[in-house]
Amino acid sequence: MFLGLDSSTQSLSAVIIDPANGQIAASGSVNFGMDLPDYGASSGFIPGGKNGEVHADPRMWLDALDLLFKRLSEAVDLSRIEFIAGSGQQHGSVYVREGFDEAAMNLDPSRSLVEQLGKELSRESSPIWMDTSTGVECVEITSALGGAAEVCARSGSIAVERFTGPQIRKFSKTDPAGYAATARIHLVSSFIASVLAGKPMPIDFGDGSGMNLLNLAELDWDSKLLAATAPGLGAKLLPPASCLTPQGTVSAYFSTKYGISSSCRVCPFTGDNPASLVGMGATTPGQVVISLGTSDTFFAAMAEPKTDPQGFGHVFGNPAGGFMSLICFRNGSLAREALRDELGADWSAFEKEALAATVDSAGKNLTLPFYGAEITPRHDFEIPVTHFSDEPTPALRIRSLLEGQFLNMKLHSEWMGVAAERIRLTGGASKNDGIAQLVADVFQAPVERLDVANSAALGAALIAAAAGGHDLVGLEGIFCKPAAESLLLPDTSLAGNYSTALTNFRKLLEQTING
Ligand code: ADP
Ligand code: XUL
């Protein structure tokens, strides 16, 4: 059997697959907010960050790892697992001291991970993908390289606030002593993999592309970007690697404490979006995937690394080889939740009202669906900007927020030049039929949903099986079949309305951003 883990913004999840019978053998999850309330991070990050800072406590991820394996070991015989792969929320970084590697190698199973590794962190908290605090550092890196186009050509993205390079630069400037005490910088993915393997694990090409540090053509750290980011940075990173090549076995801590075989191999972990590409069965070009998680993302496999001229979209490594595009919308579920709470509604009411509302106004009722700083487009919105011709009832507000989210997504994915012929939908909000139908209507494309709740953890499990000799595309065919009854067809009578709505949305957005 093969285990995939996903350490995402709000939870740590596991999926165990058995390719011999094509079944998911088990799954499990730890929700940071609900299961580890002592961290006070109800949505997975430390609330109240100033000046765009959004950090999480890496100790919470360690506690989650212990709790998840405790639960899994009570439910499944973990000695049957041969390979483990995994993924993490992208861009988030963890800073460890010299002593971390030795501590991870010699963990005492009678004590917790946090007790033994917490003190080996050289930075108390980890900046995560929601952080928008590094505007100055992005400008500095861009000018050192001679312009945004150069940064984009090398790394697949212009310098971006949440990307790890600008975050590392800010840390090195604001806390030089902490930076000097840092022996190694991990992404969330490589941090969890290193703890599991009890040895330093490299960053993989997929997640490494979200740092503004990896040269996509060379698949290695870019010396100019390293130099422009922080002094001595190259020495704090291991050479990047493929997530398909195992680099160790689980440490004695995990085999003794949770009964995993000591010969179980561990792969470098990748990013949650690259893992989702696998879990959605979309590693070969042709499918578009929309994930409605904490953030909403839009992604697709690409043979060539095409880049977004506006600089909002990104190019990442595809775990199966080649590339993938990724566009991230920060106001995803968080905006949907904000409106839900404002209206005192629940998801079922949300679903019902979204389905019940009728689009008859051809883009007269519009919402710019941003409850806070957005990254696509990059702008500090504070509250949604609305333009209602009709009485703003709860139903209209819900529908208009959702329409705004998907119009914004359609607008900002045009650069890829792919008409979405079929959309595979995933993430927590994808099970909401009202939301899923709106995606089909706005994009005027059929929407398929897969049975599995967590595509990143499933993708990681498939990567683990591929590392163990199974064919990745073959595995996708077995495990990533959309549920037939889940197919939603677009209401084609709305095509004209949404085309007008897109034009009006574009105008409202331009007016709002340009004042
Ligand atoms: P992440 O992987 O980023 O932690 P998930 O993909 O697990 O996020 O999605 C979690 C989000 O899904 C929650 O924050 C919640 O807002 C949303 N969600 C869960 N159930 C529903 C539902 N029935 N309708 C709409 N949104 C939902
Ligand atoms: C991608 C991004 C998010 C995180 C968290 O660029 O910032 O999708 O990976 O899911």
Q: Is the CB of 337 under 6 A from ligand 1?
A: yes
Q: Which 8-state DSSP code applies to residue 329?
A: E
Give Cβ neighbours of residue 304 (< 8 Å, ≥ 6 apart): 323
Identify the DSSP state of 381. -
| Mean per-residue pLDDT, 72-79 | 97
Pocket probe mutation, ligand 2, options 45, 87, 91, max atoms within 8 Å of Cβ? 91
Name the CATH architecture for the domain at 2-274.
2-Layer Sandwich (3.30)
54 Cα to the center of ligand 2, angstroms: 13
What does the pLDDT read at residue 358? 59
C-alpha pair distances (Å), 12 with each of 54, 61, 62, 251 = 19, 8, 10, 19
For residue 417, name the pLDDT band (cuts at 50, 70, 90): confident
Residue 206: closest CA among 89, 371, 55: 89
For the chain, give the percent of residues with pLDDT over 70.
98
pLDDT at 109: 98
Please identify, by atom number, the ligand 2 atom nearest to the C-alpha of residue 272. 9
Tell me the sheet residues that pair with 93.
187
102-108: long-range contacts (C-beta < 8 A, 24 or more apart)? 104/194, 104/195, 104/198, 104/199, 104/251, 105/198, 105/199, 105/251, 106/198, 107/198, 107/251, 107/252, 107/253, 108/253
List the structure tokens of 487: 């197919």
pLDDT digits (tens, 9 = 90+) for 156-192: 999 999 999 999 999 999 999 999 999 999 999 999 9
Where does the pLDDT of residue 421 fall: very low under 50, low under 70, confident under 90, or very high at 90 and above? Answer: confident
Q: What is the pLDDT at residue 464?
A: 98
Give the number of the atom of ligand 1 that is nearest the alpha carbon of residue 295: 3
Give me the mean pLDDT over the 135-155 stretch: 97
How many angstroms separate the CA atoms of 3 and 19, rounded?
A: 11
Q: What is the DSSP letter of 204?
A: B
Given a cut of 60, whether residue 360 has pLDDT beyond it is no
Does ligand 1 have an atom closer than 6 angstroms to the CB of 430? no
Residue 145 vs residue 485, higher pLDDT = 145
Take residue 419 and report the two structure tokens written for it: 């008409």
At 361, the pLDDT band (50, 70, 90 cuts) reads low
**pLDDT number for residue 307:** 87
User: Mean pLDDT of all residues in the chain?
Assistant: 94
Q: How far apart are CA 69 and CA 510, in angstroms?
A: 49
> Does residue 273 have its Cβ closer than 6 Å to ligand 2?
yes
In angstroms, how far is CA 104 from the centroid of its own chain?
Answer: 26
Which residues, other chains included, contact 178 with Cβ-Cβ below 8 Å and sequence gap of 6+? Answer: 95, 122, 123, 171
Given a cut of 80, is residue 286 above it in pLDDT?
no
**Best mutation site among 89, 412, 455 for ligand 2 pocket (most ligand atoms within 8 Å of CB):** 89
Dist CA 272 CA 459 (whole Å): 9
Tell me the whole-structure pTM to 2 decimals.
0.89
Confirm whether 2-274 and 281-451+484-515 share one CATH topology: yes
pLDDT for 211-223, tens place per residue?
Answer: 999 999 999 999 9
pLDDT category at 133 given cuts 50, 70, 90 is very high
Interval 40-59: pLDDT, tens: 999 999 999 999 999 999 99
Q: For the chain, what are the domain ranges?
A: 2-274, 281-451+484-515
CA of 76 to the centre of ligand 2 (A): 30
- CATH of the domain spanning 281-451+484-515: 3.30.420.40
Contact 183, 151 (CB under 8 A): no
Distance CA 165, CA 176 (A): 15
